[in-house]
Chains A and B, each alone.
Chain A
Amino acid sequence: MSKKILPLVIGAAMGVAATTAAGATTLEDVKAKGFIQCGVSQGLPGFSNPDAQGNWTGLDVDLCRAMAAAVFGDASAVKYTPLSAKERFTALQSGEVDVLSRNTTWTMSRDTQLGLNFAGVNYYDGQGFMVRKDLGVTSALELSGASVCTNTGTTTELNVADYFRANNMPYEIVAFEKADEVVAAYDAGRCDVYTTDASGLYAQRLKLTNPGDHMVLPEIISKEPLGPVVRQGDDEWFNIAKWTLNAMLNAEELGVTSENVDEMKSSDNPSIKRLLGVEGAFGEAIGLSNDWAYNIVKNVGNYEESFNANVGPDTPLGISRGVNALWNDGGFMYAPPVR
């Protein structure tokens, strides 16, 4: 009796999880289930955050959508898993997500010791300082004796310690668990300086009572190249992630946008022809159709469009391109050519 019922009960109660079957590549898995499982943050404004309609939006989210466009020709074939900083790598290693696009800093240890691969950089970030204008400070080197508000348990805290010690400046850390608390404390004058990654500074500035009374100091004290991450040992999927990002950058460089991509197909420029799959078989070489990049630009847009829609000057965040401009525009963004 119980022998008959038990399996039924257990079977009813358990959803069988889709774990990577031995031998199947990530691309095969993704094609089989019909969507990409994308690991995002639990909410970083402009990079990955849910909006009022419940859709995930942001620069990091667009990368997942672009990958879905490349694989399926449909940018909406993505499911999102919000991950905390602690569980993000485990989720990727265990196959719970196919790609991690979650404002994750590319470091040597992460790239070499966790069995993961960074597929590029979609945002060059760095830790900065925000202070009140009436403090009369113009450089971070004048912050001797300042009290600094920051989040607990992040590299942010360690970077501050390194920087102040290296410059022989005394300082006092005021740390909080949640970003909201840090902002509230800084806004209430509990500390002189608010520090986090520059991208976060812009986001949190929106919550200050008088944003105009504050300024971001010019010093960037750490390198935080953020980019998408995939599992090591699956070069096919690694290539797709890498070249999705490169396609968005190359499209911007060649002036291909979601508006004009159809006209651009008949362009005489061989670079554009190769990118949009009119010439050559570059898509097939990475296991996709030849119009993979066309689908990316058509459905999601080029890097500039994504940047401006999510974090650019016309959004509440108002981040200027700065170092994230293209290489021929004074920035770091340089994608290898499609050739």
Chain B
Amino acid sequence: MANTDIFQIRTEEAPRMPAPVSTTGAIGWMRQNLFSSIGNTILTVVGILLAYSIVAPFIQFALIDAVWTGENREACLPQDGGHGGACWAYVKAYLPQFIYGRYPVDEIWRVNIVYALFLLLLVPLAIPSAPFKKTNAILFLVVFPIVAYFLLTGLVIGDAVILPIVETAVWGGLLVTLVIAVTGIVASLPLGVALALGRRSKMPIIKMVSIIFIEFWRGVPLITVLFMSSVMLPLFLPEGVTFDKLLRVLIGVTLFSAAYMAEVVRGGLQAIPKGQYEGAMAVGLRFWPMMYLIILPQALKLVIPGIVNTFIGLFKDTTLVLIVGMFDLLGQIQSSFTDPTWSTPSQGHTGYLFAAIVFFVFCFGMSRYSIFMEKKLHTGHKR
């Protein structure tokens, strides 16, 4: 029989005390992550000051001082002189031109259809769980380019004008940027893969040709390629015959990025262990099935970051076409600076800010998508 008068036996746990305030919640988190040492504290303070000094004026310019509506430059001129905020009214007035260039207004529906088709086919293609992948890919890679080509340029059969011809000279803005980027991206990947395989081939001629091709295109700046294609090429062609300027640029950009792509893919191929090849041969696969079924899927998966890197670079390089007198998004924005109707001190800043936002959306989108794909395809390379 226990004598409970002399000593006490606890029959349940003592109540838990809350943790010290300084180690939990937001304060605790900050202490642990931002102010854990003197050096960290200094870095944190400097970082906050730096961020504030950049972000605050930006918000001030782009949102607080901004002018959203107006008919002409008067709207964006600050009353007391000085430098006003962003003139979004000007971007609004010019938006159709930034998106379509000088594409005839009556025909703009054609561009819209192309944009819509592009999204309609690309989105399910990009979502791994969407069905009918094969059909979708064929539609996107084979049918869509043909349809888009005729929609954008026009279609005349004999004397019957089904769609009026629109010369590429009046294309511009985002349309040109996307046409060059998408064509370059879609066409340079297969070309790059072929070149990479060619460079690793045991057949001397193919190997030589691939190496020469790759090294040639990697040895010249893109701007030279564009100059050559737009200025020199017509000199080599017979009198009175000329390629379309946009087509020349497309070919130049595609071949240029294909060479870069080839080296990225080659890096992936080199990372595949010999055992994979031998295993594939052991089960009786010939060269192409082996490549298509075993080697390339693994190699391409390994170099997704490199491939997307090249894509993003290509997308941004499209702005170089303004050198050869084509108006991509940036060129179109720059050309709008010459309209006295909207000339204000903030016009240039606003235009370039708009360009930066648009490019960021596209490039950051590509980057996020590639990270998503990497995670998705992650099959046992985790360290």
In whole Å, how far is B220's beta carbon from the nearest beta carbon of chain A?
A: 21
Contact B340 A50, beta carbon cutoff 8 Å: no
Contact A50 B335, beta carbon cutoff 8 Å: yes
In whole Å, how far is A197's beta carbon from the nearest beta carbon of chain B?
A: 14
Residues 93-113 of chain B, each 1 if its beta carbon lies under 8 Å from chain A, else 0? 110110001100100000000
Contact B81 A51, beta carbon cutoff 8 Å: no
Is the C-beta of A317 less than 8 angstroms from some C-beta in chain B?
A: yes
Contact B169 A81, beta carbon cutoff 8 Å: yes
Query: Complex Cα distance A44/B340, Å?
Result: 9
Query: Complex Cα distance A51/B347, Å?
Result: 14
Q: Which of A53, A81, A82, A203 contacts B343 (CB 8 A)?
A: A203
User: Which residues B225-281 have CB closer than 8 A to chain A?
Assistant: 239-244, 247
Contact B344 A207, beta carbon cutoff 8 Å: yes
Looking at B101, B105, B242, B244, which has the most chain A CB atoms within 10 Å of its CB?
B242
Query: Complex Cα distance A16/B81, Å?
Result: 53
Is the C-beta of B188 less than 8 angstroms from some C-beta in chain A?
A: no
Q: Which of B83, B239, B242, B338 contacts A14 (CB 8 A)?
A: B242
Is the C-beta of A208 less than 8 angstroms from some C-beta in chain B?
A: yes
Query: Complex Cα distance A84/B348, Å?
Result: 20
Contact A206 B73, beta carbon cutoff 8 Å: yes
Which residue from chain B places its CB closest to the CB of A18 in the assembled complex? B240
Contacts of B102 in A (CB 8 A): 50, 54
Is the C-beta of B342 less than 8 angstroms from some C-beta in chain A?
A: yes
Residues 45-61 of chain A, each 1 if its beta carbon lies under 8 Å from chain B, else 0? 11001111110000000
Residues 53-81 of chain B, each 1 if its beta carbon lies under 8 Å from chain A, else 0? 00000000000000000001100000001
Query: Complex Cα distance A44/B247, Å?
Result: 29
Is the C-beta of A13 less than 8 angstroms from some C-beta in chain B?
A: yes
Is the C-beta of A180 less than 8 angstroms from some C-beta in chain B?
A: yes
Query: Complex Cα distance A14/B244, Å?
Result: 6
Contacts of B343 in A (CB 8 A): 45, 203, 206-207, 316
Contact A209 B242, beta carbon cutoff 8 Å: no
In whole Å, how far is B301's beta carbon from the nearest beta carbon of chain A?
A: 35
Looking at B244, B345, B347, which has the most chain A CB atoms within 10 Å of its CB?
B345
Residues 328-351 of chain B, each 1 if its beta carbon lies under 8 Å from chain A, else 0? 000000011111111111011000
In whole Å, how far is B175's beta carbon from the nearest beta carbon of chain A?
A: 12
Contact B81 A209, beta carbon cutoff 8 Å: yes
Is the C-beta of A23 less than 8 angstroms from some C-beta in chain B?
A: no
Query: Complex Cα distance A54/B100, Å?
Result: 10
In whole Å, how far is A83's beta carbon from the nearest beta carbon of chain B?
A: 8
Contact B325 A84, beta carbon cutoff 8 Å: yes
Residues 301-327 of chain A, each 1 if its beta carbon lies under 8 Å from chain B, else 0? 000000000000001110000000000
Query: Complex Cα distance A84/B334, Å?
Result: 14
Is the C-beta of A210 less than 8 angstroms from some C-beta in chain B?
A: yes
Query: Is the contact region of chain A dominated by helix, strand, or loop, or is it mixed?
Result: loop
Contact B241 A16, beta carbon cutoff 8 Å: yes
Is the C-beta of A269 less than 8 angstroms from some C-beta in chain B?
A: no
Residues 23-52 of chain A, each 1 if its beta carbon lies under 8 Å from chain B, else 0? 000000000000000000011111001111
Which residue from chain B places its CB closest to the CB of A82 in the assembled complex? B325
In whole Å, how far is B343's beta carbon from the nearest beta carbon of chain A?
A: 4
Is the C-beta of B82 less than 8 angstroms from some C-beta in chain A?
A: yes
Given contacts A15-B242, A16-B240, A19-B239, contact A52 B347 (CB under 8 A): no
Contact A52 B241, beta carbon cutoff 8 Å: no
Contact A210 B81, beta carbon cutoff 8 Å: yes
Contact A207 B240, beta carbon cutoff 8 Å: no
Q: Which of B101, B335, B340 contacts A316 (CB 8 A)?
A: B340
Contact A50 B339, beta carbon cutoff 8 Å: yes
Which residue from chain B places its CB closest to the CB of A206 in the assembled complex? B343
Looking at B94, B105, B169, B343, which has the most chain A CB atoms within 10 Å of its CB?
B343
Is the C-beta of A224 less than 8 angstroms from some C-beta in chain B?
A: no
Looking at A52, A53, A84, A316, which has the most chain B CB atoms within 10 Å of its CB?
A52
Contacts of A206 in B (CB 8 A): 73, 340, 343-344
Is the C-beta of A336 less than 8 angstroms from some C-beta in chain B?
A: no
Query: Complex Cα distance A324/B122, Å?
Result: 57
In whole Å, how far is A154's beta carbon from the nearest beta carbon of chain B?
A: 16
Contact B345 A315, beta carbon cutoff 8 Å: no
Query: Complex Cα distance A82/B172, Å?
Result: 13
In whole Å, how far is B82's beta carbon from the nearest beta carbon of chain A?
A: 5
Which residue from chain A places its CB closest to the CB of B90 in the assembled complex? A52
Is the C-beta of A184 less than 8 angstroms from some C-beta in chain B?
A: yes
Which residue from chain A places its CB closest to the CB of B231 in the assembled complex? A87
Contact A45 B338, beta carbon cutoff 8 Å: yes
Contacts of A50 in B (CB 8 A): 97, 102, 335-336, 338-339
Which residue from chain B places its CB closest to the CB of A42 in the assembled complex? B335
Query: Complex Cα distance A43/B247, Å?
Result: 25
Which residue from chain B places its CB closest to the CB of A213 in the assembled complex? B81
In whole Å, how far is A94's beta carbon from the nearest beta carbon of chain B?
A: 9
Contact A17 B348, beta carbon cutoff 8 Å: no
Contact B337 A180, beta carbon cutoff 8 Å: yes
Contacts of A184 in B (CB 8 A): 348
Which residue from chain B places its CB closest to the CB of A180 in the assembled complex? B348
In whole Å, how far is A194's beta carbon from the nearest beta carbon of chain B?
A: 14
Contacts of A209 in B (CB 8 A): 81-83, 345
Query: Complex Cα distance A46/B105, Å?
Result: 23
In whole Å, how far is A188's beta carbon from the nearest beta carbon of chain B?
A: 11
User: Which residues A200-233 have CB closer than 8 A to chain B?
Assistant: 203, 206-210, 212-213
Q: Given contact pairs A52-B342, A207-B343, enumerate 17 new A-B contacts (beta carbons under 8 Å).
A: A13-B244, A17-B241, A19-B239, A45-B339, A50-B336, A50-B338, A50-B339, A52-B94, A52-B336, A52-B341, A187-B345, A207-B344, A207-B347, A209-B345, A213-B81, A315-B340, A316-B73
Can you list 5 residue pairs at the A/B interface with Cβ under 8 Å? A13-B244, A17-B242, A50-B102, A54-B96, A180-B337
| A→B interface (CB under 8 Å) | 13-17, 19, 42-46, 49-54, 81-84, 87, 180, 184, 187, 203, 206-210, 212-213, 315-317
Q: Sorted from nearest, which 10 A-B pairs have the closest CB atoms?
A: A43-B338, A206-B343, A45-B340, A210-B81, A49-B338, A17-B242, A54-B102, A316-B340, A52-B93, A209-B345
